[in-house]
Amino acid sequence: MTEMKTSISGAKLAPGSNLKKLSAKASAQQRTSWYLVSPLVMVLGFFLVLPILTIVIVSFWDYNDYNFFPAFVFENYAYLLTSPVTLATYLKTFKFMILVWIFCTTIGFTIAYFLAFHVRTLPMQITLFLICTVPFWTSNIIRMISWIPFLGRNGLANSALINTGVIDQPLDWLLFSDFAVVLAFVHLYCLFMVVPVFNTMMRIDKSLIEAARDAGASNFQILTNVIIPLTKPGIMIGSIFVVTLVMGDFITVRFMSGGQSASVGRVISNEIALLQYPAAAASAVVLLITVLIMIGIMMRFVDIRKEL
Amino acid sequence: MSALELIATTKTYGEIVAVDAIDYKFASGTYSCLLGPSGCGKSSTLRMIAGHETVSGGDIILGGINITDLPPAARGTAMMFQDYALFPHLSVIDNVAFSQKMQGIQKATRRARAMELLELVDMQEYAERIPDQLSGGQQQRVALARALITEPSILLLDEPLSALDPFLRIKMRAELKKLQRSLGISFIHVTHSQDEALALADQIIVMNNAVIEQSGSPMEVFNKPNSEFVAKFIGGHNVLPTDAGKIAIRTDRIKIQKDKAKGSMSAIIRDVEFLGSTVNVAMDAGSRGEVVASVTDSIFYNQPMEIGETVFLKWNKKDAHRLAE
């Protein structure tokens, strides 16, 4: 600090030499800053930028039945963007995404609301919250497969319905159907909505609820005028999780639809299985851009920065 | 006009009694302060009046109507919360108009009314700001406007000045008093600061251990504390044991003399605190414990005193108040 002062006051007397000193000091400080950010830059560069760059490069390569090789062709994109299959799979994926989002938001919000506002003691809140996470102690695949004996033609659901006389014939659409896909998605990803929404709700000052009640708001008015507006950032973070997870998924759709439903992720996975890496890369790039646009739109509605 | 009456009002949390069957009548159009240390039951009392806490026993009557079990908005009370509890997602004007929005009043009408209230608290220029962009004092004005828009017959204030810095606190307390006078409604103000209560209140209700220790005008409470607790809590008093029980004497009514006289009490000066216009002299009176005398600066400098010096204390008989055991 004193050094700085002397060099600044000295600058008036001998501008040339002291200015040099000053700029040397500034550049030294700048170098320190660079050193400090370098680990993060390297990690992000190596694990994020580099892979994406590779995918983008490969997406312009060419391929034949058994090999792919460096080139600069737009064929992958041209085929992808003109094929009616692409549109159909995207529509199908959007349909899953929207349905899953609706159910996850409704169920997730309800659970979080119950935990945050109806459970009164903190230990109980934490206990119930941990119970919500119990299914997540097993792998995705196991949780998905466990639906099969439940939803199958002779599964628990159908037997129970037949035994109680609700239906005569087993329901076919319970398993290996879009219903099953959405059900599994909601089961898998609901917690990703519960956690951020619960987190935001816990930060709502309880005196705001009292202030609303003091102003004559009914419970429903408190929900719509106070809780929902204040929970928006949490809902948005949960939505980003759910949307990106569903958009990129391929295994749930394959398992739960019995291979009958398509999704963007499945298209990419199939292309990889057929060693059509450039085509898969192009699909991945288009998917990435789509998801980024969707997140961009969502961020326009709600400022989530204050949550982070 | 509507008086508020507490009749054996009780609040229990399980085994714990927070408010123990208190009886009190708040006259209409007065400024009352519930004063007491934390945990004395003053906030629970206020919250029961507001309807934010269920009443465990007894009744609350406002203007001849039993409001014990009515919802907060149906009571004719409005509450101003300790940290103001402004809605962070709404602009100042929408915060003030909130209760009218809940009643389904048209946007233009309710905003016009909210603007009138903002003018009352001199905040009309900030109507479109959000609460985060306001200072503590400004937030408090908005909270006042929001509470007053419901046209309550009683405004309940829960430690309204505790979040402000000392300078602003004194300014806002003058404004609160002025507002109460001009509106002519009752204010019930919870505080743990005796200065605040003395400065603001028409009636002070001192609470301790879930019951009312003493109530009365600030002068009554300050000049005639009826228990050791009140004398100590309200400040400015010495509590001394005598043969006939404990007595309270105001610190500024104790005279310090250098020479021994008949009926005087000897003490050793332990500390001298200069407070501007007065000087606090802390003394050790042996078996009678600590005594503080508050003397004016001119007296102090005419008769300088050293720490460690032995002095003799006197007071007029009428200044000593017998305290209840």
- pLDDT level of residue A163 (50, 70, 90 thresholds): confident
Nearest by CB: A216 against B73, B83, B88: B73
Looking at the complex, report in whole angstroms how far the Cα of residue B205 sits from the nearest Cα belonging to chain A. Answer: 24
Q: Test B73 with A207 for CB contact under 8 angstroms.
A: no
Q: Which positions in chain A touch B146 (Cβ < 8 Å)?
A: 211, 215
Shortest CA distance from A210: residue in chain B: B52
From the list A208, A212, A211, the residue with the least C-alpha distance to A220 is: A212
Domains of chain A: which residue ranges?
A: 2-58, 82-307
Looking at the complex, report in whole angstroms how far the Cα of residue A196 sits from the nearest Cα belonging to chain B. Answer: 18
Mean pLDDT within A181-193: 92
Looking at the complex, report in whole angstroms how far the Cα of residue A303 sits from the nearest Cα belonging to chain B. Answer: 12
Domain spanning A82-307: CATH superfamily: MetI-like (1.10.3720.10)
The amino acid that residue A109 corresponds to is F
Q: Rg of chain A's alpha carbons, rounded to an integer?
A: 27
Q: Which residue has the higher pLDDT, A21 or A186?
A: A186
Mean pLDDT within A184-204: 92
* Interface confidence (ipTM) of the complex: 0.83
Q: Test A218 with B102 for CB contact under 8 angstroms.
A: yes
Nearest by CB: B85 against A211, A225, A230: A211
Q: Test B88 with A211 for CB contact under 8 angstroms.
A: no
Q: What is the pLDDT of residues A68-88, one digit of tens each?
A: 888 888 888 998 899 898 999
Shortest CA distance from B50: residue in chain A: A214
**For residue A65, what pLDDT is reported?**
80
> Distance between CA B27 and CA B215 in Å, rounded?
13
Looking at the complex, report in whole angstroms how far the Cα of residue A261 sits from the nearest Cα belonging to chain B. Answer: 43
Query: Average per-residue pLDDT in chain A?
Result: 87
Looking at the complex, report in whole angstroms how far the Cα of residue B155 sits from the nearest Cα belonging to chain A. Answer: 11
Nearest by CB: A216 against B52, B79, B103: B103
Q: Is the dihedral of CA A216, A222, A225, A231 positive or negative?
A: positive
Looking at the complex, report in whole angstroms how far the Cα of residue B74 sits from the nearest Cα belonging to chain A. Answer: 8
Q: Test B81 with A225 for CB contact under 8 angstroms.
A: no
Q: Test B102 with A205 for CB contact under 8 angstroms.
A: no
Does B99 lie at the interface with A, CB-CB under 8 angstroms? yes
The list of chain B residues with pLDDT below 70 reads: 1, 325
Q: Where are the beta strands (DSSP E) in chain B?
A: 4-13, 16-26, 31-35, 57-62, 65-66, 77-80, 154-158, 186-191, 203-208, 211-216, 237-242, 245-250, 255-257, 265-274, 278-284, 290-296, 310-314, 321-322
pLDDT at A91 over 90: yes
> Distance between CA B2 and CA B222 in Å, rounded?
28
Residue B65: both structure tokens together:
């109507």
> Distance between CA A274 and CA A291 in Å, rounded?
25
Does B139 lie at the interface with A, CB-CB under 8 angstroms? no
Nearest by CB: A214 against B72, B86, B103: B72
The amino acid that residue B253 corresponds to is R
Looking at the complex, report in whole angstroms how far the Cα of residue B269 sits from the nearest Cα belonging to chain A. Answer: 48
Nearest by CB: A205 against B51, B85, B146: B85
Provide, rounded to the nearest whole percent, the portion of chain A with pLDDT above 90: 49
Q: Which positions in chain A touch B89 (Cβ < 8 Å)?
A: 229-230
From the list B50, B35, B25, the residue with the least C-alpha distance to A214 is: B50
Shortest CA distance from A224: residue in chain B: B102
Does B168 lie at the interface with A, CB-CB under 8 angstroms? no
Mutation for testing the B interface, residue in A214, A232, A302 having most B CBs under 10 Å:
A214
Among A18-22, A113-117, A153-157, B102-106, where is mean pLDDT lowest?
A18-22
Shortest CA distance from A220: residue in chain B: B102
**For residue B34, what pLDDT is reported?**
94
From the list B141, B151, B190, B176, the residue with the least C-alpha distance to B26 is: B190
- What torsion do the CA atoms of B40, B43, B47, B53 make, to the nearest 10 degrees? -50
Nearest by CB: B85 against A210, A216, A230: A210
- pLDDT level of residue A19 (50, 70, 90 thresholds): low
Looking at the complex, report in whole angstroms how far the Cα of residue B193 sits from the nearest Cα belonging to chain A. Answer: 22
CB–CB of B35/B207 below 8 Å? yes
Mutation for testing the A interface, residue in B102, B110, B150, B158 having most A CBs under 10 Å:
B102
Burial of B39 (0-12, 13-18, 19+ CB in 10 A): middle
Q: Test B99 with A216 for CB contact under 8 angstroms.
A: yes
pLDDT at A280 over 80: yes
**For residue A156, what pLDDT is reported?**
86
Mean pLDDT within A134-162: 85
Q: What is the pLDDT of residues A209-260, one digit of tens each?
A: 999 999 999 999 999 999 999 999 999 999 999 999 999 888 888 888 887 8
Q: Which positions in chain A touch B82 (Cβ < 8 Å)?
A: 207
From the list B24, B56, B9, B30, the residue with the least C-alpha distance to B203 is: B30
